[in-house]
Amino acid sequence: MKIILLGPPGAGKGTQAANIVDTYGVPHISTGDIFRKNIKEGTELGKKAQEYINQGKLVPDELTCGLVASRISEDDCKDGFMLDGFPRNIFQAEYLNKYLTENNVALDKVINIEVDSELLIERACGRRICKNCGATYHIKFNPSKKDGICDVCQSALTQRPDDNEETVSQRIQVYLSETKPLVDYYTEKNVIANINGNQDINKVFEDIKAALA
Ligand code: ADP
Ligand code: ADP
Ligand code: ZN
């Protein structure tokens, strides 16, 4: 299965990606996670990406597109993959489309998670992540069992530096101007499934499974 997860920052893409991996076993390719790993490891890419990420801007396409193409050309993506956070603008979507066409690969579904903008800031600012295993929590909507400790691996939870109100607002603006046009782009290609992401986490996943069935 070849899937794209689309939606504003804080919509629940990463959370649902974990559910989709558990159920369908497809590799999860998150450009945000790849950038954060590079920042943590202090690579050249990490250094370049960091300044954009901290300002809530998109990392330039030249640093992003090739990275995704080489990742989906790996062996484990032969039978399927799930892109989370890519594409994020029309240029990236056209780039991906060209790559897939040249390699005779068809997308099965673009899962578009729609969430009212009033909810997004609270979701992103209350997000806590495990730096060790990548699990995602929310202080109010999806708390870990022990305060500040990951349920999966017992490591300490942290807050992403870009999950503050100012940067999240900026990211929402970038979403509206650059990423939202992809909803029309994929609607025209007849591969989109619009999912009501205002519901609780389990109900959102039920709707995603129905859309993928
Ligand atoms: P969220 O899921 O909250 O929207 P991500 O983890 O997907 O956040 O992305 C974090 C940041 O990484 C973005 O704000 C952006 O700066 C950068 N980023 C991630 N994916 C892309 C992409 N496809 N193109 C450009 N920048 C990206
Ligand atoms: P994205 O990857 O789209 O930025 P996440 O999956 O990281 O979003 O979710 C953002 C925050 O909102 C996390 O703290 C997560 O636990 C929480 N969250 C995700 N889905 C829901 C939901 N349906 N209802 C309430 N909170 C949610
Ligand atoms: Zn963990």
Task: Calculate mean pLDDT across residues 97-120.
Answer: 96
Q: What is the pLDDT of residue 21?
A: 95
Q: In 3D, which of 126, 68, 109 has the Cα closest to residue 92?
A: 68
Query: In whole numbers, what is the pLDDT of the chain averaged over residues?
Result: 96
Ligand with an atom nearest the CA of residue 152: 3
pTM of this structure: 0.96
Q: What is the pLDDT of residue 26?
A: 97
- 150 pLDDT more than 90: yes
- 105 pLDDT more than 90: yes
Q: What is the pLDDT of residue 97?
A: 97
Instruction: Name the residue with the closest Cα to ligand 2, atom 25.
Output: 141
Instruction: Name the residue with the closest Cα to ligand 1, atom 23.
Output: 86
What one-letter code names the amino acid at 22?
D
Ligand with an atom nearest the CA of residue 50: 1
Contacts of 118 (CB under 8 A, 6+ apart): none
Residues with CB under 6 A from ligand 1: 9-10, 13-14, 31-32, 35, 52-53, 56-59, 64, 85-86, 88, 92, 124, 171
- 185 pLDDT more than 90: yes
Q: How far apart are CA 184 and CA 99, in angstroms?
A: 20
> Which are the catalytic amino acids?
13, 88, 127, 160, 171
Question: Is 168 marked as binding a ligand?
Answer: no
Q: What is the pLDDT of residues 29-69, one digit of tens each?
A: 999 999 999 999 999 999 999 999 999 999 999 999 999 99
Residue 119: band (very low, low, confident or very high) from pLDDT cuts 50, 70, 90: very high
- 187 pLDDT more than 90: yes
* Residue 136 Cα to ligand 3 middle (Å): 8
Rg (CA), the chain: 16
For 14, 148, 206, the CA distances from 137, given in Å and listed in that order, are 10, 10, 19
Percentage of the chain beyond pLDDT 90 is: 98
Coil, helix or strand at residue 207? helix
Q: What is the pLDDT of residue 33?
A: 94
Q: How far apart are CA 183 and CA 125, in angstroms?
A: 25
Nearest-10 Cα torsion for 16, 22, 25, 29: 40
Residue 131: band (very low, low, confident or very high) from pLDDT cuts 50, 70, 90: confident
Task: Calculate mean pLDDT across residues 160-184.
Answer: 97
Residue 138: band (very low, low, confident or very high) from pLDDT cuts 50, 70, 90: very high
Question: Is 124 marked as binding a ligand?
Answer: no
Task: Calculate mean pLDDT across residues 73-77.
Answer: 96
Show the domains of the chain with their CATH numbers: 2-116+174-212 (3.40.50.300)
Question: Is 101 marked as binding a ligand?
Answer: no
Closest ligand 1 atom, CA of 10?
3
Q: What is the pLDDT of residue 64?
A: 98
Closest ligand 1 atom, CA of 85?
7
- 70 pLDDT more than 90: yes
Ligand with an atom nearest the CA of residue 169: 1
